[in-house]
Amino acid sequence: MASGPESGKGFWKKLKRGLLMTHTEMFGRVEAAIADRAFLDEETLESLEEGLIAADLGVETSQELVESVRKEAKRFEGGDLSRLRDHLADRVAVLLLDAPQPPARPAGRLVTLLVGVNGVGKTTSAAKLAAWHQRHGDRVLLAAGDTFRAAATEQLELWADRLDIDVVKQKAGADPAAVVYDALQAGAARSADHVIVDTAGRLHNRQGLMAELAKIKRVIERTAAGWKKRTLLVLDATTGQNAISQAREFTRHVAVDGILLAKVDGTAKGGVTVAIARELRIPVMFLGVGEGAEDLVEFRPREFAEALVG
Ligand SMILES: Nc1nc2c(ncn2[C@@H]2O[C@H](COP(=O)(O)OP(=O)(O)OP(=O)(O)O)[C@@H](O)[C@H]2O)c(=O)[nH]1
Ligand SMILES: [Mg+2]
């Protein structure tokens, strides 16, 4: 049941690779500008601001960061980008450390419910999260709580086979709350440390589907007495700033304990992580950085800032 940090090298490599497109978007312009002039004039600062905004850090955050560079522009003269990078990495880290922090894996048995809009990456993330916790010593059980589509259960089973993890399922059309109930019973019987529940995609304005989620939560509350519980909202990083409005709507209807931001690798808008952390005031807990079982990393503010900027 340990939750020790992932080996430094693997974590770092995945994070860097996941943020590559975003990093390039942020710095491509300013690198070109600095190479031309070797000093930070207004135009270069504008290039920096454009890059930060294009990488979806948010307009306000981008301006704040550029302002902090402008104040000390002299320090960065001579075309030495590395000093500028260090400065920005520090500033971003400060912003991220000021946001709600990802909690450690709670001790004891745990139920994780994954929720979110259609197609954001819930099922893939359920599998990756299961693999992550398995690597960290948990005995994991998956619950196929998306009974809406027959293919959803098959998709989860395919992952589970590969990872050698059990899945609790029912036939398509079954009540997802009943699947979750079964999974929690099975989890207790098989001494699982951690039950991870996949759910069907839903929009916040679909009342019936939101009521279904509330029912799943009630079943978890009642059945998993003594277990720690957390609900993670899965967001799709490729939607950039839209992910924030989506989260705002969603969390008006469902209480959420953390964010799992998927598909960070597939976008140049990975800076939205900073905007999410600052604006939603919900801890970002995991980042999806690829389509493989291993492509999930913990969100660690300082390391994130360094990988993003450095
Ligand atoms: N590149 C990349 N692709 C991802 C990541 N996470 C998920 N995907 C892809 O996104 C697509 C949708 O993922 P799913 O896990 O099926 O999404 P979902 O939220 O379960 O979808 P519904 O159940 O239909 O609501 C798949 O093609 C995944 O491979 C990620 O971190 N990086
Ligand atoms: Mg799914």
Residue having the nearest C-alpha atom to atom 14 of ligand 1: 121
Going from the C-alpha of 154 to that of each of 33, 51, 52, 201, 277, the distances in angstroms are 51, 41, 40, 16, 33
Is 123 close to ligand 1, i.e. is its CB under 6 Å away?
yes
Gap from CA of 123 to ligand 1 centroid (Å): 7
Per-residue pLDDT at 8: 73
Find the ligand nearest to 159 CA.
1
| Whole-prediction pTM | 0.96
pLDDT of residue 163: 97
Q: Which atom of ligand 1 is nearest to the CA of 155?
A: 16
Q: Which ligand is nearest to the CA of 116?
A: 1
Number of helices (H), then strands (E), in the chain? 12, 8
3-state secondary structure of 1: coil
Angle, CA 284 vertex, CA 177 and CA 239 arms, to 5°: 85
φ, ψ of residue 238 to 5 degrees: the values are -70, -15
pLDDT at 91: 97
- For residue 234, the ligand 1 atom closest to its alpha carbon is 19
pLDDT score at 79: 63
- Dist. CA 117 → ligand 2 center (Å): 10
Report the residue among 21, 118, 122, 124 best suited for mutation to probe ligand 1: largest number of ligand atoms under 8 A from its CB: 124
pLDDT 10s digits, 179-202: 999 999 999 999 999 999 999 999
Enter the CATH code of domain 110-300: 3.40.50.300
Is the minimum distance from the CB of 114 to ligand 1 under 6 angstroms? no
Q: What burial letters (b/e) apply to 147-174, b meaning 16+ CB within 10 Å?
A: bbeeebbebbbebbeebebbbbbbeeeb
Ligand 1, atom 21, residue with closest C-alpha: 119
- In this prediction, the residues of the chain whose per-residue pLDDT falls under 70 are 1-7, 38, 78-79
Q: 258-262 and 228-236 as β-strands: parallel, antiparallel, unpaired?
A: parallel
**The pLDDT of residue 5:** 55
Q: Which ligand is nearest to the CA of 234?
A: 1
What pLDDT sits at residue 7? 67
Instruction: Provide the β-strand partners of residue 110.
Output: 194, 228
Which residues are placed with Cβ below 5 angstroms of ligand 2, an ion? 122-123, 152
Domains 9-98 and 110-300 share a fold: no
Strands 258-262 and 166-168: unpaired
Q: Classify domain 9-98 by CATH architecture.
A: Up-down Bundle (1.20)
Residue 99 C-alpha to ligand 2 middle, in angstroms? Answer: 29
What sign results for the dihedral spanned by CA atoms 205, 207, 212, 214?
positive
Amino acid at 108: G
Helical residues (DSSP H) of 99-240, grouped into ranges: 122-135, 150-163, 176-189, 207-223
At residue 310, the pLDDT reads: 80
User: Residue 120: CB within 6 Å of ligand 1?
Assistant: yes
Give the C-alpha distances (Å, rounded to integers) separating 299 from 13, 88, 196, 274, 307.
Answer: 14, 18, 19, 11, 11
pLDDT of residue 1: 39
pLDDT value of residue 3: 42
Where are the domains positioned within the chain? 9-98, 110-300
